[in-house]
Chains A and B, each alone.
Chain A
Amino acid sequence: MTEVTESLGWWGLPIAILAGAIRASTPFLLVSLGECITEKSGRINLGLEGVLMMGAMAGYGASLYTGSAWLGVLAAGVVGAALGLLHGILCSLKRVNDIAIGISFMLLGTGLAFFLGKSLIQPQAPTLSSIPFGFWSDSPQIQSALQINPLFLLGIVLAVLLHFAFLRTRWGLRIRIVGDSEDAARAMGFRVVPTRIMATVFGGFLAGVGGSFLSLYYPGSWSEGLSSGQGIMAVALVIFARWEPLRCLWASLLFGAAGALGPAFQAMGLTSGFYLLNALPYVLTLVILILTTAPNRKISGAPGELSLVRQ
């Protein structure tokens, strides 16, 4: 069935890091880009973990029932956008705290996804195919590492587009002003609330699509342990990336690669301290959060209206 695969030895490490960055970074990337837009507008949606799970579940379900994985991605995005809309509207009410709403969305989304996804655990839905960028290589390892999913490419394009959109377009400027100073935005005639709601809807859409990547491509199956906190890590990642889309891209690649380190080391026979290696991405998150939330330091690049950083 398979030709004999030569062992890679230590070459396995760089390849695993590369492959991990490509395979595992997409959910981080999509969720963080979406959250980046939401936070730039002055809102924080901590509920993206729940949105991610709902997206993963809805995407898998839609793919299963329609037979098309891409319709699954679309369904995931729509479900995510709907949750984003709900979050956006609720947070626009007076005296509603977006952090509290976010946490409740996190619980609601995961709980609902578990409940509705019960019947989706066993069946095999059609999954997304990838583009074989490794065709030039004879090595099956490199061929496998360079199986690139279109959603990953889409994420990269989106990161670049958003980077320029924030800097150069009227649309980007409007989001930034709304996020930096509500008064200034009002003075300029921008409508603050609709802008924020739209930004949250967009963030929800991307988080939903990020979820569908998990269930429809990698690891490519719906289960309740699917996210293991990736939605939360992506929110932390936005802070780490200083609300910069391009930095979100690098940070996502870093997180994806970090997750691959533990298994890669162990596959090579280096298994002592595997708990520590497996904890690496979470340690990274923690370190980032500690470094960025020193109380006596203002975070550079933070949107002024963000409740997370507002004094």
Chain B
Amino acid sequence: MSNIDQSRRQVLKQLGGTAAAVTLMSFGFRDGLAAEKMTVGAVYVGSRDDYGYNQSHAEAIAAIKKLPFVRVVEEERVPETIAVEKTMQAMIEQDDAKLIFATSFGYFDPYVIKLGKQYPKIRFAHCGGLWTPKDPMNTGSFFGYIDECEYLSGVVAAHVSKTKKLGFIAAKPIPQVLRNINSFTLGAQSVDPSFTTNVIFTGDWSMPVKEAESANSLIDQGCDVITCHVDSPKVIIETAEKRGVYCTGYHVNQSSLAPRGYLTGAEWVWAMPYKILVDAAHEGKPMINFLRGGLKEGFVKMSPYGKAVPEQAKQTADAIKAKMLEGGFTIFKGPLKDNTGKTVIATGVSQDQRDVVLEQMNYLVAGVIGQI
């Protein structure tokens, strides 16, 4: 296996996805008009149309593709290993990509950082990581404060739950995931402090059988609102609907999968940051190293309320949402204890959404049942 060349076509062949990959490649002609176009690369960890995270990114790329000065190359199902380095390198060397969107958390350290140093003229926009000034200036991270939507989902969930037990199926205990679990729980507790959230970590971004099994286990334990942070929530939403409990969605609107039980959901609007980053590259402005936004900036949005949501829940959630849109709402403020009893935010301290401390979250708040 040592003499594999750098070509990602080769790599893909070995992964068995040749047919799928070939259709995705836009075999570029590099002369004439095409030369004036800027090539933008996008790398996804899962399938582009997974009805979830990767799809939310692919939809933004599809929007970017419509810009007259942009040519797009995409590759899906690229694992968070050395494979992503080869993919990005191939995009730079073979497709002449000038800006690469690396959309999975595990791509950043060390792969994006390493290539950022190697190719100082290429821009690397990573989703979800935390760029710090010691990282190359041509790299950067963008993300949305989706925990605002999770908080609102928690508020709505608390209005319909009878058991006061919520279930959260998560892939990996990384800061963004923990932040969502905590926000969801805090949202519910803002309605009734006795709410608890049971967490199950499945271990990876897409594990359909385990996700279904997790949903069933949580429902068996009495959780009557289920939500998740996995790449493709379809199975979980369907399982919740089948078992007759409520759910809130993630990544994209899944309300059609659960017409009875879908309450609301947290959705991405990636086209917003993508457009900002592509424009900056096109106009030759410096790379934006740290790009964030929430409801206010239009990076995220809520799914429309489902029919099971009572009027009072809508009013409460809408009132909080209005404050968030003004930028006057703080989710994480002291005194806040984690679920081992340790104080994580002292009394009087409030951590604003843009506070990077929140992006290093390594605790589960009191009321979350589970360990990291």
Contact = CB atoms under 8 A, between A and B. Distances in A.
A57 to B, nearest CB: 12
B16 interface: yes
Contact of A1 (B23, B209, B211, B308): B308
Interface in B201-224: 201-203, 206-214, 216-224
B182 interface: no
B77 A224 contact: yes
Interface stretch (A8-16, A30-38, A62-70): A8-16
B200 A271 contact: yes
A124 B201 CA distance: 26
Given A7-B222, A124-B257, A223 B216 contact: no
Nearest to B163: A4
Determine the interface band of chain B, counting residues with CB < 8 A from chain A: 35 or more
A228 B207 contact: yes
A220 B199 contact: no
A275 B200 CA distance: 11
Q: Which of A23, A115, A272 has the most CB of B within 10 A?
A: A115
A286 interface: no
A10 to B, nearest CB: 10
Contact of B218 (A1, A6, A111, A267): A267
A79 B334 CA distance: 60
B19 interface: yes
Contacts of B327: none
A259 B213 contact: yes
B264 to A, nearest CB: 16
Contact of A121 (B20, B23, B50, B207): B50
B49 A225 contact: no
Nearest to B244: A2
A292 to B, nearest CB: 25
A216 B162 CA distance: 31
A267 B221 contact: yes
B126 interface: no
Nearest to B211: A219
A263 interface: yes
B198 interface: yes
B19 A112 contact: yes
Given A111-B20, A260-B213, A263-B214, A1 B221 contact: no
Nearest to B221: A267
Contact of B207 (A107, A225, A275): A225
A263 B210 contact: yes
Contacts of B19: 111-112, 114-115
B289 to A, nearest CB: 32
B165 interface: yes
B16 A219 contact: no
Interface residues of A, number: 55
A266 B369 CA distance: 9
Contacts of B219: 5, 144
Given A2-B224, A266-B200, A220 B235 contact: yes
A269 B208 contact: no
A110 B217 contact: no
A283 B218 CA distance: 25
Q: Which of B15, B208, B222, B239 has the most CB of A within 10 A?
A: B208
B51 A121 contact: yes
A221 B208 contact: yes
A219 B218 contact: no
B208 A114 contact: no
Interface string B154-177: 000000001101010000000000
Contacts of B234: 121, 221, 223
Interface string B284-328: 000000000000000000000000100000000000000000000
A24 interface: yes
A278 B202 contact: yes
Interface in A184-242: 214, 218-221, 223-226, 228, 230
A267 B207 contact: no
Nearest to A3: B162
Nearest to B208: A219
A122 B207 contact: no
B248 to A, nearest CB: 14
A61 interface: no
Contacts of A110: 16-17
Nearest to A27: B209
Given A115-B19, A267-B220, A221 B235 contact: yes
B260 interface: yes
Contacts of A264: 213, 217
Contact of B221 (A8, A144, A278): A8
A4 B239 CA distance: 18
Contacts of A6: 222
29 contacts: A2-B244, A4-B162, A4-B163, A5-B220, A8-B221, A16-B216, A16-B220, A23-B216, A24-B209, A110-B17, A111-B17, A111-B19, A112-B19, A118-B20, A141-B220, A144-B216, A144-B219, A219-B212, A221-B234, A223-B47, A224-B46, A228-B207, A259-B213, A262-B213, A264-B213, A264-B217, A266-B214, A268-B221, A274-B201
The 4 residue pairs across chains A and B that have the minimum distance between CB atoms: A107-B16, A225-B206, A219-B212, A267-B217
Interface of A: 1-2, 4-8, 12, 15-16, 19-20, 23-24, 106-108, 110-112, 114-115, 118, 121-122, 124, 141, 144-145, 214, 218-221, 223-226, 228, 230, 259-260, 262-264, 266-269, 271-272, 274-275, 278-279
Given A16-B220, A220-B235, 10 more contacts: A1-B244, A23-B216, A106-B16, A114-B19, A214-B208, A219-B235, A228-B208, A262-B203, A269-B198, A271-B371
